């Protein structure tokens, strides 16, 4: 992977890879606020990842960050963060480099949709430089009450399940099976309650596991999400690369 510090500028935002201890500390602080109510959010996977930060220079503030772990092929997927929660045996046969995106968060005060666009533009640059064929990760839902997301889970089950050849199997002790969601749920409400990151994955042709994991440690529900780069519609690829420059 090319060790590019600077990734892109768009308007008031700059995306770059964190290189200094101070920059990494900024990412950890935003993650801590987003996922742990201010308690430290550091784990053993951090050392193996690139940490991408999106800075708003108009207010001199970090507004988004995420981390990326590169795996040379599916044979390495057991080393991923996601493999703690999902049985990913099927993806061991995936032929090609992978990226795992994790700990994606946007500062609560930052509502500009350009932030998400810049983050995806930065990811596009990294994916193209590394020749990545599959992007995956855990898409997080706030809280652990499955009842709040039954519309979304029904929508995912009806329209967005992974191909059977890649489908993650249950591994975690506490899960919510999408097949158990009532089929009478409202798709519009389901889409509205979907995390923006997951919605973007799906707009590009992504797919999900058939269940959500109840993560008591982070206080979230999360869903394994995959995106095969070759499956992204050409028009969407053009839009992403236009942002990536």
> Each residue of 203-214: pLDDT tens digit?
999 999 999 999
Residues 180-219 pLDDT 10s: 988 777 989 999 999 999 999 999 999 999 999 999 999 9
**Residue 175, strand partner residues:** 213
Phi, psi angles (nearest 5°) of residue 45: -75, -20
CATH architecture of 6-244: 3-Layer(aba) Sandwich (3.40)
CA separation for the pair 167, 147 (Å, rounded) = 24
Q: Quote the pLDDT of residue 5.
A: 80
Other Cβ atoms within 10 Å of 84 Cβ, number: 13
CA separation for the pair 146, 216 (Å, rounded) = 13
- CA torsion 60-64-70-75 (nearest 10°) is 170
Residue range 158-172: mean pLDDT, rounded: 97
The H-or-E segment that residue 15 falls in is strand 13-17
Residue range 163-175: mean pLDDT, rounded: 97
């Amino acid at each position: 992977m090319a060790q590019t510090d600077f990734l892109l500028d768009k308007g008031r935002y700059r995306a770059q890879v964190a290189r200094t201890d101070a920059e990494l500390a900024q990412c950890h602080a935003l993650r801590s606020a987003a996922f742990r109510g201010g308690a430290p959010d550091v784990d053993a996977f951090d050392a193996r990842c690139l940490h991408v930060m999106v800075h708003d220079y108009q207010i001199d503030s970090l507004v988004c960050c995420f981390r990326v772990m590169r795996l040379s092929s599916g044979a390495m997927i057991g080393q991923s963060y996601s493999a703690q929660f999902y049985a990913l045996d099927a993806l061991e046969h995936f032929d090609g480099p992978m990226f795992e995106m994790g700990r994606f968060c946007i500062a609560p005060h930052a509502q500009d949709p350009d932030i998400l666009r810049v983050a995806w533009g930065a990811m596009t640059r990294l994916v193209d430089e590394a020749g990545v064929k599959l992007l995956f990760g855990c898409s997080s839902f706030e809280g652990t009450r499955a009842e709040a997301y039954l519309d979304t889970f029904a929508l995912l089950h009806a329209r967005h399940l992974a191909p059977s050849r890649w489908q993650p199997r249950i591994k975690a002790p506490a899960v919510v099976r999408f097949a158990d969601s009532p089929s009478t749920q409202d798709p519009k409400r389901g889409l509205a309650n979907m995390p923006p990151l997951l919605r973007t994955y799906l707009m590009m042709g992504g797919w999900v596991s058939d269940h959500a994991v109840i993560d008591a440690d982070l206080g979230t529900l999360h869903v394994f999400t995959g995106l095969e780069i070759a499956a992204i519609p050409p028009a969407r690829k053009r839009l992403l690369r236009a942002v990536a420059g």
